[in-house]
Amino acid sequence: MLQEVLLPKLGQTMEDATIERWIKNEGDTVKRGDVLLEITTDKATLEVESYAEGKLLKVLGKAGDVLPVNAVLAYVGEDGDEIPEAAPAAPKAIPAAEPAPAAAVPASQAAPEAGPAGRIFASPRARALAKAEGVPMEAIRGTGPNGRIVEKDVKAWLERASSVSATPTARQIAAQSAVDITTIAGSGPGGRMLKQDVLGAAPCTPAAGEKPSAMRRIVAERMSLSKRESPHFYLDFNVDMTVAVAYRTALNSGREQKISFNDILAKGCAACIKAVPQINTVWVDGRVVRKSEINISLAIALEEGLMVPVVRNVDRKSLDEISAESRELIEKARGKRLLPEECEGGSLTISNMGMFGVNSFYPVINPGESCIIGVGAIVDTPVVRDGGICVRKMMNLSMSCDHRVVDGAVAAKFVSLLKNYLETLEPPVVA
């Protein structure tokens, strides 16, 4: 029996979605529960499963289309089933918003990845590795979504380059001049590449800019919106994590499921929000709205972009419960199984870049919230204590705040309480 595949409503606020890609193709046999395609809403990238069994006879929506909920995406049936001649056509794709003129973008705002021809599209991990190893990004062709350069592409180039015989000076000049040493014949003894070989070579020409994925486009739009509308101000502070590190080490001894520093931070942030409830507010249509729950958002980096799932009612949960829920949300984010409502209602976001060796940074506030915490690496650092020098495990935290609803004194009070919590693991007293 012929059955329609409709774009499902996967969240209370979901009105439309972008088709990212079809997993199944016309002619494929599908079973109930098979993943048919991936879609991206304004909150998450999701997999759409089949509720029908049979053959995928006709696909109506194509990658890149923006379709409303309940639009007909495809037909599933059996050989011989007749698809109506006047089959419901996929609704017209909604054009993506035009990027704002350069003059309208604040100078401190990072430009979105979509750009003019010649712009290089690469993941943060790929860029970091290329910078550290002196790799000319122009020499690499990406294998990620829409031709994006990912970390494995940089590693593959480094492996090829390691087999090239070249002088240190030649390698240095090649990196500075965007010359691909893997394509140059050396004129030195045994074919070794010399300085003059590199100087005589043409630099690489980056590939024409690719259309960004739906997730990357949404991230760019949301971050641009935040920087345009939310007047950011920033605080940063050093935290002695020696007690917290020892506590976590003891807590995780013999445990299969480890407690992370993000779990400890989430619990601390929730306790401090309870003591400073002004943090749990947001500016909506000229009014200050206070939220009824204390929910902590977690910034999760994916190759395609960024997702921010929300751990709910953190102030009422144990560390084990926070850890289990966080782990489940992270796994769902990486597996593209997050529902839109699982990315809504956050009070504050934690963005941790310490695992990448980043000491400090100032993150952009997640729209719908008023504050975000930037977490740096924990580093053994000589500090002065009681007139003497000792080594302590120090970490830099930063806090970005929306000045429309959070004043400097309020943010400073929150920061002071959070610092004390992380250094002593004692929750603040709520008046």
pLDDT tens digits, one per residue of 212-222: 777 787 888 88
**Is residue 194 very low, low, confident or very high in pLDDT (cuts 50, 70, 90)?**
confident
Report the distance separating Cα 14 and Cα 297, nearest Å.
19
Portion of the chain with pLDDT greater than 90, in percent: 46
Q: Which tens digits make up the pLDDT trace of 234-282?
A: 999 999 999 999 999 999 998 889 999 999 999 999 999 999 999 999 9
Q: Describe the crossing of helices 242-252 and 408-424 by its angle, rounded to 10 degrees.
A: 50
Domains of the chain by residue range: 3-77, 115-199, 231-424
Q: According to the model, what pLDDT value does residue 94 have?
A: 43
231-424: same fold as 115-199?
no
Fold of 231-424: Chloramphenicol Acetyltransferase (3.30.559)
Q: Which tens digits make up the pLDDT trace of 330-361?
A: 999 888 888 888 999 999 999 999 999 999 99
Q: Which residues contact 320 (CB under 8 A, 6 or more apart)?
A: 259
Hey, what amino acid is at 423? Answer: E
Q: According to the model, what pLDDT value does residue 100 have?
A: 34
Report the distance separating Cα 176 and Cα 160, nearest Å.
18
Q: Which of these is catalytic: 274, 403, 404, 419?
A: 403
Roughly how many angstroms between the first and final C-alpha of the chain, as a whole number? Answer: 65
Collapse the DSSP code of 371 into the 3-class scheme (helix H, G, I; strand E, B; otherwise coil) and give the result.
strand
Residue 82 token pair = 């007749």
The mean pLDDT of 368-382, rounded to a whole number, is 96
Fold of 115-199: Dihydrolipoamide Transferase (4.10.320)
Collapse the DSSP code of 149 into the 3-class scheme (helix H, G, I; strand E, B; otherwise coil) and give the result.
strand
Per-residue pLDDT at 109 exceeds 50? no
**Is residue 88 very low, low, confident or very high in pLDDT (cuts 50, 70, 90)?**
low
- Active site annotation includes 403: yes
Mean pLDDT score across all residues of the chain:
85
Per-residue pLDDT at 108 exceeds 70? no
The mean pLDDT of 143-162, rounded to a whole number, is 83
Burial of 325 (0-12, 13-18, 19+ CB in 10 A): buried
CATH architecture of 3-77: Beta Barrel (2.40)
